[in-house]
Amino acid sequence: MPKLPRYVQQRVSPTGDISYRFNPPSKLVDAGIVKREQYGSDLKQVRKIVRDHNKAIDTYYEEQALVVQVNQSSTVDTLIDYYYQSNDFNMLRDTTKVDYRYFLDIVSQSIGSRKFSVVTAKVAKKAYETWVTRGVSFANHTATCASRVYNYAIQMEHAVVNPFTNIKRKAPAQRKVVWSHDDVINFLDEAYSDFRFRNVGLIVQMAYEWCQRLGDMRMLTWDNIDFDNTKLYLEQSKRRSEVFLPISDDLMHMLRQQHKDFGFQEYVAPHPQPVEGVYNAYAMERLSKVGRRVMRNAGLSESLRLMDLRRTGVTQMVDQGVPLPQVMSVTGHTHVASVRPYMKHTYASANSALTQRNVSVQSSVRSNIESDTV
């Protein structure tokens, strides 16, 4: 897929026709800076049109950067708004921006009304401990986003100290839980039986079949799906690794049906209730809540988490004896050491190793015995 201009998305219809769409954020449309537009298949012409649009956007951001004034009396909320108007933020990928806004909303709820200049390490630590009650990973992500805002303020000489720098973060517990195949089937049966949960079911099916992170699957767009060649193209958000994966017949059937119902908008499996006419991707917390509800309805173990699906798929590949380079071509890992934890202490891999070894040894022993008796 060619590199597309900012805010341009490629669409491939079920019949293979290619078109392009200019899909800027709602705030730019609402401000009257640009509008969403649909184009034909001439990418060269699209680049020419969009170039002028993006110049207008850049000018808007430069002007807006002057609107938010920061001084020592400014609140953390003001500092966050100031960061939103920076190039540091606006150069991020759209999917990353969504996550940053989500976690910075949490920061705002906790300390947004405080003057940013009097937020001490003690205040930051207390906020972090509050976030930990919602999960260690959740707290760490939130603290990282808060730290980014303060680092930007330091670069712009509005702040001197980042109170989140020296927080001792907790390490998430190493989970080893995996789903059984029946667990997955029962979850999907329950999710697909109710339209309200269907998109969550599809996110789970994609995460399981492709061994990908939920975060990438919830943000998947139709541009990632090649219907003609039944392939998925994905640039992973965490490592920026590119993976190209086949689409099974069952999953392709689901995707074609999904395209009939949701192909008019950006995301493959958005939240089914639009906000002001716009279908948004699931927020991770909302996805987890709906997932837990489906699991309860399906009678699954309380120990299971949606985040375990990637581990489940990788563990299954390792147990089946799939060579590590092939596993890495699916997961996007670039170092063997990242995959090795999946190999530890599994009965299937141990059984396979011993079986192969015993076959070889017994064959050798048998040959020696036969030669001695001749």
**pLDDT at residue number 270:** 94
CATH architecture of 181-309: Orthogonal Bundle (1.10)
**pLDDT at residue number 344:** 57
The two most distant CA atoms of the chain are separated, in Å, by 97
pLDDT, one tens digit per residue, over 31-89 is: 788 888 989 888 888 888 988 898 888 887 766 655 567 778 889 999 999 999 888 89
How confident is the chain (374 residues) per 10-residue block, as mean pLDDT? Answer: 76 80 81 87 88 85 64 89 88 81 92 93 95 90 95 90 92 82 95 94 95 93 93 86 91 94 92 84 89 95 92 87 86 79 60 64 53 54
Question: Which residue blocks in 298-346 are alpha helix, DSSP H?
Answer: 308-319, 324-331, 336-339
pTM attached to this predicted model: 0.61
Rounded Cα gap, residues 116 and 131, in angstroms: 19
All residues at 6 or more sequence positions from 374 whose CB lies less than 8 Å from its CB, including other chains: none
Strands 8-12 and 18-22: antiparallel
**pLDDT at residue number 346:** 55
Residues 290 and 197: beta-carbon distance below 8 Å: yes
Domain boundaries, the chain: 8-155, 181-309
pLDDT, one tens digit per residue, over 80-126 is: 999 998 888 988 877 788 889 889 999 999 999 999 999 999 999 99
Rounded Cα gap, residues 348 and 320, in angstroms: 8
**pLDDT at residue number 9:** 85
**Cα 256 to chain center, whole Å?**
22
3-state secondary structure of 115: strand
**pLDDT at residue number 249:** 92
Residues 211 and 310: beta-carbon distance below 8 Å: yes
